[in-house]
Amino acid sequence: MRRVWVMTTGLILTQAGWAQPTLRPVIRGRQYAVASMKPEATQVAERILRAGGNAFDAAVACQAVLGLVDAPNNGVGSDAVILVWDARAGRAWSLNAEGTAPRLATIEWYRTHQGGKIPVDEGLLSGTVPGVVDAWYLLLERWGTMSFAETLAPAIEMAENGFPLSNRLAAAINNTKKLRKFPTSLRLYFPNGRRWQPGDIFRNPDLARTLRRLVEAEKQAAGQGRKAALRAARDRFYKGDIAREMARFSEENGGLFRYEDFAAYSAKIEDPVFIEYRGYAVYKNPSASQGPAELFALNLLEGYDLKAMRHNSAEYIHTSAEAVKLAMADRDKYLGDQDRIEIPYGGLLSKEYARLRRGLIDPGRASLEYRPGEPERFVPGMKLLERPADYTVAGPEEPEGDTSYLVIVDAQRNVVSFTPSLHTAFGTGVVMGELGFSFNCRGDYFSLVEGHANALEPGKRPRSTLQSTLVARDGRPVMAMGSPGGDDQCLRTMQTFLNIVEFGMNVQQAIEAPRWTTRGFPSSVFPHRMVPGDLGLEERVPETVRRALEARGHRVRVMGPWTLGSNAAVVIDWARGVIEAGTDPRCDAWALAW
């Protein structure tokens, strides 16, 4: 008889599961756990927690530093999506800090001035309004206990005094051609034509001055109370002299941003969407995010005995990839900025709709088609939404987006799952004058086809690849996870989640397990290329599995053995009072716990 051990979160580990080796250990603590894409940012979050701050305070400090040490992927100019668990209220919230398009940005403008194309990956015409500073404000004002002065102090110190460059960051700066195209970026990143070496000290005094301005505004308004002081810091960025400098620089350099775009901006606190998967409540951000597509896929997969298929068997990978293609087709047709479009979540998240869609999965053959459904039929009284498709199956390879991630659980079991991003390396690549940061280039996700769910409109948020996952059971948080990776983000968090729930892996095993990906759906990046039948497998997936997948019609790409992931995750074991954190050896992610 095979013995099993049952974890108090309800997960099962076989005897073989315990023996499965990992490159990194599970990091365990009783008070708190932190994981982020860089060791320095993780250390700063721990510093805040040790100083008496909570998860929300630590998240602000962590991301501010992450924007320095992981500068290609996030920063002050980022957009962001965040999921939080409010321990006092006993519930989850979504924080939508996606950027908005400038008021001058219209489909007609791009047709007239850009040949009907959105610049991809660089330049101010691909940008959206930064949302992360407003996210800092909402985290501190709604749930935090500390000030901007306290939470931004580590980032100001690092920007002013400098920090040693990691191997990855030195290479990223040296190898990113677009930074060399813009004088302000050249001045910051290549002073006197410098080529960087790992361990060189990098400084960003302009960014330090920008952050100090927020702290100054907060101190000047301190007599009006904590909330008013926090608001003053936030408003200096979006309505004060910083906003005016961003607007002036944009206008002088061919951008469409004007002061009114920043003054009108607001991040939003929203109700998340969720499904129940085998007793787990899986939460996602509802608006301007691809995150719900993972819920669509999980609803499809819940109808299969995945354990019986065995982890990373040809049957399991085939079924999962086919479910993702269907989910992502619905992503393309239905998801976007819910302030501007109607999203039929009543159908998209229903088990009945999933049952119908599941019938489209051929167990013996890979689909090569784009097949969105009609979830409106499962919403009483709702009319069909006529929305055009916008994708191509030809054209050059598109740049892959990337981002950053952090996750924090504190002693009260507040949880923050925070995904900030510049979209691709250094975002627009244009450092905004003497402010020390560049904007995200998320605008290249918009469609220029009128009527599309993600069609460009002034002030609209593009449907982003940004997403993270928060999981609860019996009314308490038990997991949070995320990963950079553009369109692959949902696939990465879904595989981590299933590795834990279905296959009994611990958090580190779940992250390190061999992975798969697909591009068999329209890409988020303009012009939204789809690669029918595509299936990427890490080299550690056995050759026998690859051959079996090819026999089903998948066009298999064999990728490096450790290439598909930048994951971080936490699991909360309530019965033992332990928090477990894992991070991906495929990148520089790091975890700490106490």
Tokens of 528: 């939204």
What does 499-538 look like in DSSP terms, one character per residue?
A: HHHTT---HHHHHHS--EE---S--SSTT-B--TTEEEEE
Calculate mean pLDDT across residues 397-408: 80
pLDDT of residue 101: 98
Are the CB atoms for 482 and 467 separated by under 8 Å? yes
Specify the residue for token string 């896929």.
297
pLDDT of residue 3: 32
Q: Is residue 360 part of a domain?
A: no
Q: Is residue 502 part of a domain?
A: no
Residue-number span of the structural domain to which 157 is assigned: 37-268+403-459
Other Cβ atoms within 10 Å of 195 Cβ, number: 9
- Type of residue found at 234: R
Q: Is residue 119 part of a domain?
A: yes
**Cβ-based neighbours of 27, under 8 Å, separated by 6 or more:** 33, 35, 580, 581, 582, 583, 591, 592, 593
Q: Does pLDDT of 1 surpass 60?
A: no
How many percent of the chain have pLDDT more than 70?
Answer: 96
Q: Does pLDDT of 410 surpass 70?
A: yes
Q: Is residue 194 part of a domain?
A: yes
Q: What is the mean pLDDT of the chain?
A: 95
pTM for the full predicted model: 0.95
Counting Cα atoms < 13 Å in the Cβ hemisphere of 539 gives 5
- Type of residue found at 63: Q
Residue 436 and residue 164: Cα distance in Å, rounded?
A: 18
Angle between helices 39-50 and 148-161 (to 10 degrees): 140
Q: Is residue 170 part of a domain?
A: yes
Of 474, 472, 452, 475, which Cα lies nearest the Cα of 462? 452
Beta strands in 40-150 (DSSP E): 79-86, 91-97
pLDDT-based confidence at 14, cuts 50/70/90? very low
Distances (CA, A) of 532 to 138, 325, 392, 394, 447: 41, 10, 10, 10, 20
pLDDT of residue 20: 74
Structural domain count of the chain:
1
Q: Is residue 102 part of a domain?
A: yes
- Type of residue found at 252: E
Q: Does pLDDT of 146 surpass 80?
A: yes
Q: Is residue 589 part of a domain?
A: no
Q: Does pLDDT of 4 surpass 50?
A: no
pLDDT-based confidence at 68, cuts 50/70/90? very high
Of 440, 428, 415, which Cα lies nearest the Cα of 99? 440
Tokens of 93: 């919230």
Q: Is residue 501 part of a domain?
A: no
- Residue 573: its H or E element: strand 568-573
